[in-house]
Amino acid sequence: MKLILLGAPGAGKGTVAKLLTKLDGSVQISTGDILRGAVAAGTELGMKAKAAMEAGDLVSDDLIMGIMADRLKEDDCKPGYLLDGFPRTIPQAEALKVMLTNMGEKLDCVVNIDVPRDVILDRLTTRRTCESCGEIYNVKSNPPKAEGVCDKCGGPVTQRADETEEAISNRLDVYNEKTAPLAGFYEKEGMLLTVNATSSDAVIEAIKAKIGK
Ligand code: AMP
């Protein structure tokens, strides 16, 4: 399947994407993971993105479109892809539309995961992420078996640099200003599925019902 997952930071896009990959072999593409990998590796891309990321601001549309133009051409995208954290601005959505048309591809739908702000805040402050494989944990509801060690790959499980209270609050403001308007954009395109659910399983069921898979 080919989906965009929309939703505020902490809405559960990454968790839902990971569950969906198991259904039909579609690949999760998280621009946040790609950028964090580049920062950790100290590449030129990472150096350009680091300051904006740590402050909870968006990285430039040009940088993101450059990443995605290459990423969507890779062979593992053939069975389908789940875009997690991209697009995040109207210009990115417009550029993606042109890119997909040129590639002769069509999305199944755009899923907008709508979760109340208090749930989001609680999730973001208690979320922990594996620095190596990106697996997501939660100190309250889903801690790793050994503290600070990833169950899946043994990598270090830590709090993201942009998950301080100040950066979280900025990320939510940026989301409301720059990314929330994408719901209207995709509604007009007739592609939007809004799901009001705090459970990932409920989101998965709504997606299956919508696209018939
Ligand atoms: P995420 O893991 O999706 O929350 O992304 C972490 C950070 O990476 C964001 O706060 C932005 O600084 C940057 N980022 C990720 N995806 C995008 C995007 N599509 N456009 C601009 N910045 C992005």
pLDDT, position 144: 97
pLDDT score of 212: 80
pLDDT reading at 41 higher than 70 = yes
Residue 70 predicted with pLDDT over 70: yes
Q: For 104-108, 112-116, 159-163, which range has the lowest pLDDT when averaged over its residues? A: 159-163
Tell me the pLDDT tens digit for each residue of 164-192: 888 899 999 999 999 999 999 999 999 99
pLDDT in tens, 192-212: 999 998 899 999 999 999 998
Tell me the mean pLDDT in the region 79-97.
Answer: 97
Catalytic residue among 2, 36, 128, 171: 171
Query: Which residue has a Cα nearest atom 15 of ligand 1?
Result: 32
pLDDT at 213 over 70: no
In 3D space, the residue among 6, 3, 13 whose CA is nearest the CA of residue 134 turns out to be 13
- Which residues surround ligand 1 with Cβ inside 6 Å? 9, 31-32, 35, 52-53, 56-59, 64, 85-88, 92, 162, 171
Residue 140 phi/psi, 5° resolution? -90, -50
Percent of the residues in the chain that have a pLDDT greater than 70, as a whole number: 100
Model confidence band, residue 81 (pLDDT cutoffs 50, 70, 90): very high
Distance 24 CA to ligand 1 centre (A): 26
Mean pLDDT of 82-94: 98
Predicted confidence band of residue 67 (pLDDT cuts 50, 70, 90): very high
Is domain 2-26+79-115+173-211 given the CATH code 3.40.50.300 in the classification?
yes
Burial of 38 (0-12, 13-18, 19+ CB in 10 A): buried
- Judge whether residue 127 has pLDDT over 70: yes
The DSSP-derived string for 131-196 is: TTT--EEETTTB--SBTTB-TTT-PBEE--TT-SHHHHHHHHHHIIIIITHHHHHHHHTT-EEEE-
Q: Which residues contact 13 (CB under 8 A, 6 or more apart)?
A: 5, 6, 7, 84, 85, 113
Burial class (CB in 10 A: 0-12, 13-18, 19+), 106: exposed
